[in-house]
Every structure is written in structure tokens, then in C-alpha cells.
Amino acid sequence: MVSQYEYEPSDDYPFGIANPKAPQQIKDFEPMIGLCDCKSQSRNQDGSWAEPIDMTWRFKYIMNGMAVQDETLKVDGAHSGSIRQFSIDSSKWYVHYYSSNGTPKTLPAWEGNKKDNKIVLYKEQKAPNGTDGFYRLTFYDMSKTGYKWIGEWVDKTESVTYPTWKIECLKRK
């Protein structure tokens, strides 16, 4: 393999390798790198939780190990993914999200960091009643065997939270 691309996915490393020249934070997502079998669960209109949906979540290093990409494949046909890059200048992760449910002119982006063994990302978003806040994404309980994820609306002080989506994953490879 050409050394210029030595950290890209390959036969030996199907999910790529973190580039040693990348910011050290590239390894924040290391527990997620690979393929996981997951259960995705979101809220119904009435506020109850819908039945879990089977989902495959694949994470890999891209851009020769300088960034992380993920892709979800759900049995209900709603697929999505993200490109995750860490900026040395701002000391933050920037996560650009895309989905098969629509094609926006500009991809929505979350930003945040790893703290207390959780990766926490935010995007400004008003609640349905107009209250200012954020949509917060959190990866937690990360290990070699899997991880959990939750998406929730939080107010600006983070004293009010309303979970809308949760995912539990077990590592396949």
C-alpha cells in the first residue's frame, strides 16, 4: 500500500487506523470504530417510546486517519451518517450529519468534546414551545464491547432535558 494512504481502510484494517499526525482526540471515537449491532428507539408523537428498531452502526477512520465517518443502516430504511473532524484551533469536535430522509443545502453540525468519559455534542435548537436550547448528543458507557448514545433537547442551562432518541450498541467486529 502506498504510504501516503497507510491509515485508510484496507484488508488488514477494514475500519482504517488513527493517523499518528492527527490530533490526539481522534482516539475519542476509538471505542466506536468497527461494526455494531444496535437497537434504536425514538419517541412517538404522544411522548411514549416507540418499539426499538434494529440498526447497524459502522464507524471508520477516513481522510487517511485524520477524521472519523459513521453510517447507520436501519431496517426501517432510514439511513444516516456523519463526518467527524477535530479542530485544533477551537479544541472541539465538529460533526456534520446527513440522512436519507432529506437533502439539505447545508448539513447540520454539532460541536463538542469528550468529558468525563462521555462525548457530548451540541447544536442550537428551540423547543417546540419556542424555548431556546440545544439538541445534545451523548455517547456514553463506551467500551470494547459496545456503547450507548442518547439524543435529547436541553435548555440553555441544561437543567431541563427531554430525551427523544436513544441507541444501545454491541460490537460485532
pLDDT digits (tens, 9 = 90+) for 22-46: 999 999 999 999 999 999 999 999 9
The enclosing domain of 20 has a CATH number of 2.40.128.20
Please state, in angstroms and rounded to a whole number, the distance separating the CA atoms of residues 64 and 9.
Answer: 8
Query: How far apart are the two ends of the chain, measured CA to CA in Å?
Result: 23
| More confident position, 91 or 128 | 91
The pLDDT of residue 42 is 93
pLDDT digits (tens, 9 = 90+) for 62-97: 999 999 999 999 888 889 999 999 999 999 999 999
The total number of structural domains in the chain stands at: 1
Sign of CA dihedral 108, 30, 91, 7: negative
DSSP per residue over 90-149, as a string?
TTEEEEEEEETTB--SS--EEEEEEETTEEEEEEE---TTS--EEEEEEEEEEETTEEEE
Rounded to 5°, the CA angle 18-150-73 comes to 65
The pLDDT of residue 102 is 83
What pTM did the predictor assign? 0.92
- Residue 105 lies in domain: 3-171
Please state, in angstroms and rounded to a whole number, the distance separating the CA atoms of residues 110 and 93.
Answer: 8
